[in-house]
Amino acid sequence: MFTINLVGIFGAVGVLYLAPLADAADKFRDYPVLPASEYAIRAERAGITIGVQPIEDLDDQKTYFDAKLTPQGFIPVFIVIQNGSSADTFLFDQTNVGYGGAFYNFTPNRGLTKVQENIMKRQVKSKTLSPGASVHGFLYIPVPKKGPREKIHLQVPMTRAGTSETFVMNLLF
């Protein structure tokens, strides 16, 4: 015999109706993106411009990540890479980025929460940069949990597609 479960139907409709509202509550503010040449810390070579902005202020970290990351041993560094070349394509491989003699490798050590999902989602991704293309996102660089940090030497290798010529762009901050 066919019966209709009105409670189940209304419950399902209610979940579908309220799901976008719950998702909206988990939205984090986007960090403003400027052209790479407008960052105080930048490097240029072969048509590539890289600009970085370390997010040192704990209130800003709380605004954009809903967490204060420096006391946890990380400083978020916003990076913008732009290919200003009119003919060359470049490869950016996030796994080859280095800092202070080590390679970049950020992996949260706990189960994913909404904050950790946000942090991972905002991480800069590897990308092929055709002429005029850009990529941006965050790197999370280890720093002392307490006390002043030393200067960070960020090394960003870029590879010219087709020739495999690789050069390293250095940024100190």
Domains in the chain, CATH or no CATH each: 29-172 (2.60.40)
Report the candidate in 28, 38, 130 with the shortest Cα–Cα distance to residue 76.
28
Q: What percent of the chain has pLDDT over 70?
A: 78
Q: Mean pLDDT over residues 115-144, rounded? A: 93
pLDDT higher than threshold 70 for residue 7: no
CA distance 77 to 100: 14
pTM: 0.79
Q: What percent of the chain has pLDDT over 90?
A: 65
Question: With the CA atoms of 45, 128, 122 and 16 taken in that order, what torsion angle do they form, in degrees rounded to the nearest 10?
Answer: 150
Query: Are 92 and 70 spatial neighbours (Cβ–Cβ below 8 Å)?
Result: no
For the ranges 13-17, 54-58, 169-173, the lowest mean pLDDT is seen at 13-17
pLDDT one-digit tens code per residue, 70-107: 999 999 999 999 999 999 999 999 999 998 755 556 55
Q: b/e map of 74-104 (b: 16 or more CB within 10 Å)? A: bbbbbbbbbbbbeebebbbebebbebeeeeb
pLDDT higher than threshold 60 for residue 31: yes
pLDDT at residue 116, as a whole number: 82
Q: Where is pLDDT greater, at 27 or 108?
A: 27
Helix, strand and coil content of the chain, in percent to the nearest 5, comes to 25, 35, 40
| CA angle in degrees (0–180, nearest 5) for 139-47-122 | 20
Q: Which residues contact 57 (CB under 8 A, 6 or more apart)?
A: none
**Biggest CA-to-CA distance, the chain:** 74
pLDDT at residue 6, as a whole number: 32
**Residue 115: band (very low, low, confident or very high) from pLDDT cuts 50, 70, 90:** confident
Q: Mean pLDDT over residues 131-160, rounded? A: 94
CA distance 122 to 109: 17
Q: Mean pLDDT over residues 45-49, rounded? A: 97
Q: Where is pLDDT greater, at 159 or 162?
A: 159
46: left (phi over 0), alpha (psi -120 to 50) or beta: left
Q: Where is pLDDT greater, at 1 or 45?
A: 45
